[in-house]
Amino acid sequence: MSSLLEIRDVLRDFYSKHEIYLLPFLKFCLAFLVIFTINLNLGASSKLSNMLVVLVVSLLCACLPINMLVVLSMIFTIVHFYEISLECAIAGGAVFLLMFLLYYRFSPRDALVVLLMPLFFGMKIPFVIPIVVGLLCPVTSAVAVGCGVIAYYVISYIKDNATLISSLEADNVIARFRYIVDGLMSNKGVFVVVVAFCATTIIVWLLRRLPVDYCWTIAIFTGSVMMVVILLLGGLNYDTNLTMGRIIVGTLVSILMAFVVQFFAFNVDYSRTEQVQFEDDEYYYYVKAIPKNTVSKSKRAVKKITSVL
């Protein structure tokens, strides 16, 4: 355990010392991954799929606030939609605009959540996002989680039906637009996933704030079980595109990843808990103090020995 704590402290010190260089690099990597994934899944616009364009935009995002990456990702996606059909661009743009206004109103600092959700869906482990967000972020971040889920399903629907939409008569704009809107609104499975993920985020946030021992562990397991139950029950009536095996395996992987996050963010020693009581002129204070798990850094002293002849 002490070795892991030493590694954690080394990583923390390394990041704090080189944050000015690491943060732009990480933003560049995230931007490249997001834009490359959009191009890979849609790929309707050959100009945007050019690797030089992806690199230039990623370098630009490394110098900009992360919310700009959300805006640029929306623009890339809408342009790809436009290459499929004008109706796709209008419908998708309207959905993205509503989500952006909703997310920016309640959780403007959670752009990372909106960006990572579709990526983790692609990696088949989206279940980790609501758990980790509940552990690290405020309760309003549930809005960003829901927006990320909707963004993934909109892109997925357009991608799966791009050929059929393109084959519809170009003159019949109303039929195309109705087909797209009906397809997006009729997918009740999306709402099941949104409810499951948002409810998990809220429950984890509530439980990890309780003044009880092992509150983070309780929050992780309780939130995971509740998410699995909602997804399985919802999957009985609506198509969520999530099989039982994928839900269970993905949740187990998410629990392991959540414990890794807990190790870095909330690693305490409950065996050394202290109850502290003190008072001032107006109040009595009863404080529960739980020390963090730390390791003392070894101090190396170098002595220079010179021989006297």
pLDDT in tens, 135-170: 999 999 999 999 999 989 888 888 888 777 777 655
Question: Rounded distance, CA 70 to CA 61, Å?
Answer: 10
Taken in order 110, 4, 263, 267, the sign of the CA dihedral is negative
Can you tell me which residue has the tokens 């972020």? 137
Can you tell me which residue has the tokens 């101090």? 299
Question: Rounded distance, CA 126 to CA 176, Å?
Answer: 31
Adjacent-strand bridge partners of 276: 287
pLDDT (mean) for 90-106? 83
What confidence tier does 179 reach under pLDDT thresholds 50, 70, 90? confident
Q: What percent of the chain has pLDDT over 70?
A: 93
Cα angle value 71/116/12 (rounded, 5°): 110
Overall size of the chain counted in residues: 309
Structure tokens at 108: 């403007």
For the chain, state the CA radius of gyration: 24
Q: What is the pLDDT of residue 309?
A: 47
Structure tokens at 251: 């949740």
Alpha helices (H) in the chain, listed in sequence order: 2-17, 19-41, 51-62, 66-84, 86-106, 111-122, 128-136, 141-160, 162-167, 173-185, 188-208, 215-237, 244-265
- DSSP state string for 293-309: P--PPPPP---------
* Neighbour tally for 301: CB within 10 Å: 4
What confidence tier does 304 reach under pLDDT thresholds 50, 70, 90? low
Question: Rounded distance, CA 78 to CA 190, Å?
Answer: 20
Is the model's pLDDT at 186 over the cut of 80?
A: no
Is the model's pLDDT at 47 over the cut of 50?
A: yes
For helices 111-122 and 141-160, angle between their N-to-C axes, nearest 10 degrees: 40
What confidence tier does 213 reach under pLDDT thresholds 50, 70, 90? confident
Is the model's pLDDT at 206 over the cut of 60?
A: yes
Pairing of strands 284-289, 274-279: antiparallel
* Neighbour tally for 304: CB within 10 Å: 4
Question: Rounded distance, CA 231 to CA 78, Å?
Answer: 30
Q: Which of 69, 38, 74, 35 is nearest to 52 (CA)?
A: 35
pLDDT (mean) for 52-71? 90
Is the model's pLDDT at 69 over the cut of 50?
A: yes
Q: Which of 309, 302, 274, 277 is nearest to 290 (CA)?
A: 274
pLDDT (mean) for 264-269? 81
Q: What is the pLDDT of residue 28?
A: 94
